[in-house]
Chains A and B, each alone.
Chain A
Amino acid sequence: MGKKALIVDDSASMRQMINFTLDEEGWEVAEASNGKEGLDQLHLTHPQLVITDIHMPEMNGIEFIKNVRTASEFKFTPIIVLTTESEKSMQEKGKEAGATAWIVKPFTPEKLKEVVKKVCG
């Protein structure tokens, strides 16, 4: 069975770019445009990796991560935050919520691949 990843970002172009990058590494990718949709996709696809933005409508990234961590199945699933948010305090909030890694946009595909390899062992 292939590796599955979930991308949660309100920007379609960002989702597409992340999708391409993960596809090159052999990931099967599911997409969602906000935290709420992200949770639906999470329980539908059971991914081994989650990549999320922070500032999104409906449900923001921090709330989404908190919700993901409440499910025992996803307690240890790597969650990479990919955002324009560079505030340290927000990064701390993300860490407290359960984020595994934090990448500030813009990112290079190589950087994303490197972090994915790191968090997925």
Chain B
Amino acid sequence: MKVLIAHSSIIILSALSVIIPGTTAKLIYITVLLTGSFFLIRRLLRSEKQKIVTACESEKARLEEKLKRKEKELEEKEQEYSNIRKEKDNQEIDKAFKPITSSLREKVKIIPVLNGQLRAVIEHTEKAAMDLSKSFMNINKKAKEQVKEVSAVFGDLSEESGDNNQSVLLSMKEVLSRIITNFNSVTEIIKKSQSATAKIIERAEAVKDIVRKTDNIADSSKVLAINATIEAARAGAHGKGFSVVASEFRKLAEDSESANKEIHSIIDKVTEETRHVYKETEEGVKRSNEITMEAGEMLKNALGQINNAIAQARDKLADLSRHAESLARDISTIVVSIQFQDITRQRIEHVIEPLEEFAKELNSLKEELENSSSLADFASRDHAAWLVNKYTMETEKELMNRTLMNVDFCSE
């Protein structure tokens, strides 16, 4: 409308310019007219532009709203499609798994039984391990005690103990040495006795010389008494008293002779007996020397044998100690081996625990299958990562990784 008014105004004003007289006036009028027309047209254009922009923005908002609606619709359609697909998948899975659901129901019941068996194995092996370790530890203990006891006994027999008490064998050696010394002493005593006996014989000979002299005196006294008796007889009555004295003197000489004979006899007897003793003592010394030498030799041999026995016993003891040490080492190895029961127990437990969780999951899965639900959650689970968290031993992890290299059971 405004454009029409503007156009009409310009046409009317242009027609007026024809009517206005004079060229200069016409030019001024046309200039004013053109300027006015320019501003009027510009204003009209701005107004129109604003209208167009407003219209465009409105259209854009409308279109955006429409796009959003369409997008939402698309999303809903997709969701619907996904649900239909999921339902279809579920139906297919259900169809595929339905035949094994009943079988699964039965198999799920087996897992606790298997776990029970494994726990029974753990229990039995643990008991066996305890019995074994107890027996071996006792053997080890007894072997050590035996070595200790034998060492103590051997020490008592052969070595000096710390409390100033001599060992039995050392005491025996000392006693035997003393016996040899005593034998030597006895021989010396016998030798001295022999020497004393020789002196007795010597003295007896000296006494015999003296007695021989008294024999001569007795003989002379006897001759003298006979002469005195003859002389007394010659003197007659005056010689009677003298005759009695001579007679007594003769008797005394005879007694003296008789005593000398007896002394001779005794000295001879003593000398003979002493000689006999001397001879026997000489034999004794000889025999004693022989016995001492023999005993010395025997004792030397005995001591040698004792020393050999001690050396052999020491060797045997060293062997016994070595065997006990070897036994301790073997038992140490056995102790290490027995500990594999504990390690095995833990590994079995690491099998039982996931199996128990599997059983739980299979139970819920079975229920889900029976309720026509999905297997997707179970299938999407990362069992390898789950097991890694269960395992604590390097060997378990290594075995799992080795197995995974060959079998990708997660994707199956």
Contact = CB atoms under 8 A, between A and B. Distances in A.
Contact of B342 (A20, A84, A90, A109): A84
Interface stretch (B263-271, B273-281, B330-338): B330-338
Interface stretch (A8-16, A29-37, A67-75): A8-16
B133 A16 contact: yes
B346 interface: yes
Contact of A13 (B141, B333, B342, B393): B342
Contacts of A66: none
A108 interface: yes
A106 B339 contact: yes
A87 interface: yes
A13 B338 CA distance: 9
B332 A110 contact: yes
B349 to A, nearest CB: 9
Nearest to B349: A55
Interface string B360-395: 000000000000000000000000000000001110
Q: Is the interface of B mostly helix, strand, loop or mixed?
A: helix
B130 interface: yes
A14 B126 CA distance: 9
A106 B343 contact: yes
A11 B133 contact: no
B358 interface: no
B340 interface: yes
Contacts of A84: 342-343, 346, 392-393
B151 interface: no
A17 B345 CA distance: 16
Nearest to A105: B339
Given A84-B342, A84-B393, A13 B130 contact: yes
Nearest to B134: A16
A28 interface: no
A58 interface: no
Contacts, number: 61
A87 B392 contact: yes
Contacts of A13: 126, 129-130, 133, 338, 341-342
B30 interface: no
Contacts of A55: 346, 392
Contacts of B137: 16-17, 20
B133 A17 contact: yes
Given A55-B346, A86-B394, A108-B332, A17 B339 contact: yes
Interface string B222-262: 00000000000000000000000000000000000000000
A44 to B, nearest CB: 24
A49 B137 CA distance: 22
A70 to B, nearest CB: 25
Q: Which interface residue of B134, B335, B341 has the most chain A CB atoms within 10 A?
A: B335
Contact of A24 (B133, B141, B338): B141
A55 B335 CA distance: 21
A82 to B, nearest CB: 10
A109 to B, nearest CB: 5
A16 B130 contact: yes
Q: Which interface residue of A12, A13, A55, A106 has the most chain B CB atoms within 10 A?
A: A13
B129 to A, nearest CB: 4
A105 B134 contact: no
Interface string B267-302: 000000000000000000000000000000000000
Interface in A73-117: 84-87, 90, 105-110
Nearest to B138: A20
Contact of B335 (A87, A90, A108): A108
A109 B144 CA distance: 15
B345 A11 contact: yes
Interface of A: 11-14, 16-17, 20, 24, 54-55, 84-87, 90, 105-110
Interface of B: 126, 129-130, 133-134, 137, 141, 332-333, 335-343, 345-346, 392-394
